[in-house]
């Protein structure tokens, strides 16, 4: 069950990426294209880069309508790789990928509004 929930979170970026209706801003920078996609209200929805061949590459970040970060992670040659972070209302999930396959998952739950710095 836990694996299915994480697959759902991991696919949120892909599903919402396909539902964009506003015109994206695309900028060629060397061998990559920097892309910014927007929500209907004009807020940034996602930004990241891909190769001129259309392969996802580098850091991608997704936001909700209010500008809160939903997910952030790296693509390498179109595959999710390394550490991806997924923010929810009361938790932070860290999912580590290798060639878009889940390696491990960690989760931190919000239990307080106060952060302590203990030395």
Residue 116 lies in a domain: no
**Contact (Cβ atoms closer than 8 angstroms) between residue 45 and residue 39:** yes
Residue 118 lies in a domain: no
Q: Is 35 helix (H, G, I), strand (E, B) or coil?
A: strand
Q: Which domain holds residue 27?
A: 2-109
Residue 117 lies in a domain: no
Give the closest residue to 74 by CA, choosing from 66, 83, 65. Answer: 83
Question: Which residues lie across from 72 on neighbouring strands?
Answer: 61, 85
Q: What is the pLDDT of residue 2?
A: 54
Judge if pTM exceeds 0.85.
no
Residue 25 lies in a domain: yes
Q: What's the average pLDDT block by block, 10 residues per block, for the chain (119 residues)?
A: 48 51 90 96 96 95 96 97 94 94 92 61
Count of structural domains, the chain = 1
Q: What is the pLDDT of residue 51?
A: 95
As a whole number of Å, the end-to-end CA separation of the chain is: 37
Q: Is 111 helix (H, G, I), strand (E, B) or coil?
A: coil
Please give the C-alpha separations between residue 67 and each of 42, 100, 103, in angstroms, as whole numbers. 10, 26, 29
Residue 9 lies in a domain: yes
CATH at 15: 2.20.110
Token pair in block for residue 33: 């294209």
């Amino acid at each position: 069950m836990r694996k299915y929930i994480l697959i759902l979170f991991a696919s949120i970026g892909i599903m919402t990426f396909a539902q964009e209706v506003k015109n994206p801003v695309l900028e060629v920078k060397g061998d990559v294209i920097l892309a910014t996609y927007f929500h209907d209200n004009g807020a940034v929805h996602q930004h990241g880069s891909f190769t001129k061949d259309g392969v996802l590459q580098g850091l991608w970040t997704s936001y909700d309508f209010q500008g809160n970060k939903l997910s952030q992670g790296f693509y390498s040659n179109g595959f999710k790789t390394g550490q991806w972070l997924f923010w929810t209302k009361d938790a932070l999930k860290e999912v580590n990928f290798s060639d878009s396959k889940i390696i491990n998952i960690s989760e931190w739950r919000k239990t307080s509004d106060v952060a302590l710095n203990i030395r």
